[in-house]
Structure 1
Amino acid sequence: MREVSKSFGTVQALRGFALSVQGGEFVTVVGPSGCGKSTLFNIVAGLDEPDDGGILRFKDRGCHARELLGRVSFMPQRDLLLPWRNVIDNAILANEIEGASRRDARARALAMLPEFGLAGFEKQYPHQLSGGMRQRVALMRTFLFERELMLLDEPFGALDALTRTMMQRWLLDVWQRHRRTILFITHDVDEAIFLGDRVLVMTARPGAVKLARQVDLPRPRTPDLVTAPEFVALKREILDAIEEEAMKSFIASTGA
């Protein structure tokens, strides 16, 4: 993405946004509320076209955003599981919509259940699952929709702190086995650093890249990493950048 902007009437959500993501990279995105993170994802998912003048390239070819629709897997903030479908049938929904054989899709999903910590739960319905398990079903559905680029929009935001920490470690294990390319939105700076190869901090609206930092911390990541001096120093730099942009948003909203 180069010089990508997006306006909605008089509101400019993005201006001059630039980002390049390599295959297999895990990039996390943080920033103040309303900075255009979700607009960014909607463009990459093919749901919104950017304003004229921006450049999008996918697999070394120029494209319109609409050409990305169906070529990128996208998990929004809510799990969006269908209450009348059990775990296995929720997991294969995208494959069914694409026209895959229901029997073949179910067989693939059943084989993947242990990897996602869902073995033995294939016949359970969403209301019978914990929040963490519902998110695992939604992530399994996203992985089964086999696309090289995955967009994850705050998938753990509604979980309690302990469950969230467990889910982060689990996601890294799954990612390291499959090596999909991931763009991950979060408001949690610890989460952004712990998961990412690279952390992007967005400016206040209109959103652009304020800061991009490589996370040069060893993998696999262990829980004690969050107290390491290198982690704490990077967290401080990122928090300072976010606080500066959040203050700009606050001043703009109050007219101070």
Structure 2
Amino acid sequence: MPVSPRDLLATRPAPATATAAAGEKPPLLELVNLWKRFGDGPSQVTAVSNVNLKIRDGEFVTLVGPSGCGKSTLFNVVGGLLPGDDDGSILMHGRPMADGALLGKVSFMPQRDLLFAWRNVIDNAILGLEVEGVPRAKARARALEMLPDFGLKGFAKHYPHQLSGGMRQRVALMRTFLFERDMILLDEPFGALDALTRAMMQRWLLDIWSRYKRTVLFITHDIDEAIFLGDRVVVMTARPGTIKCDEVIDLPRPRDPEIVTSPEFIAIKRRLLDAIEEEARKSFMPESGGA
């Protein structure tokens, strides 16, 4: 069933503001009327436009949208890998972030695990801490304490080629969690895994998230994954990407695998699929005046 404009307005977040109400704790991250463009002149491409988004401390927010909508661009802007103040602003804890100021303030994991073949599990996991200047012995001690939580007890001296795909992802995630930042960005970390391993990793990630109390922004193309993991699912429009709708996932935690067959889950999935499919169709339409 198509999503009506009234439905979209009901789920769209109120425009973000640069100041919190009196006595209200500001969001951990706030994007205010954010634009990102590439190139100049006639060849300029607008990747994201007028994005307003608030993520509060401890939330697990999933981001979905049609291919090419700007999800990864937004990810790289929030991660500090791209300047993000073409127009608009980015705030953390209510404080504006200038160009380059976000780099190192969040930890992130791209789609590939990016483990170094010549480093064992522990040495791969502590890479971020080493770059930050943490003494090697202290970094290793912290990593060894976390091995059981990440299902890697007994594998400290194993190398990437000796690990399964799921284990490699857990090493990469441990590296991300060890680099202690308030926010973690995850860009389709389970996309390359088989369905069974992916489902197990989703449940495991929720358990880790509940233990370590980090704020997560998670990009995915999988609607079931977005709903199962998220406190909220944010849907982006076709390029230039902006926020189409922002749905609160009012499902109980902890979440069992069986929840994906519940009427509530299916109803949420239907609404989100309608929203995404509408945008996907737009992305295939020729531009006005085109062939």
CA contact (8 A) 1:154 1:185 kept: yes
Instruction: Report if aligned partners of 2:61, 2:218 keep a CA contact under 8 Å in 1.
Output: yes
TM-score (norm 1): 0.98
Aligned to 1:32: 66
- Of 85, 92, 104, which residue of structure 2 is paired with 1:58? 92
More helix per residue: 1 or 2?
1
2:260 matches 1:230: no
Q: Is the 8 A contact 1:47 1:65 kept in 2?
A: no
Matches within 5 A, 1:144-183: 144-183=178-217
Task: Give the Cα–Cα distance (whole angstroms) in 1 for the partners of residues 34 and 98 of structure 2.
Answer: 12
Percent of residue pairs identical: 68
Among residues 95, 102, 109, which one is paired with 2:129 in the alignment?
95
- Aligned with 2:220 (options 186, 211, 216): 186
Tell me by how many angstroms 1:198 deviates. Answer: 0.2
State how 1:5-84 maps to structure 2 within 5 Å: 5-9=35-39, 10-84=44-118
Residues 47-97 of structure 1 show CA distances to partners (whole Å, capped at 9, x for unaligned) of 111243311111111122411110100100000000000000000000001
Unaligned runs of 5+ in 2: 1-30
The whole-number CA distance in structure 2 between the counterparts of 1:160 and 1:137 is 17
Contact 1:3 1:54 in 2 (8 A): yes
Match of 1:221 in 2: 255
Unaligned runs of 5+ in 1: none
TM-score, with structure 2 as normaliser: 0.86
Q: Secondary structure at the match of 2:54?
A: coil
Encode CA deviations 1:85-139: one digit per residue, 9 max, x unaligned. 0000000000001111101111110111000000001111001111000000000
Aligned length: 256
Matches of 2:147 and 2:257, distance apart in 1: 25
Moved over 4 A (4+): 253-256
Which structure: larger Rg?
A: 2
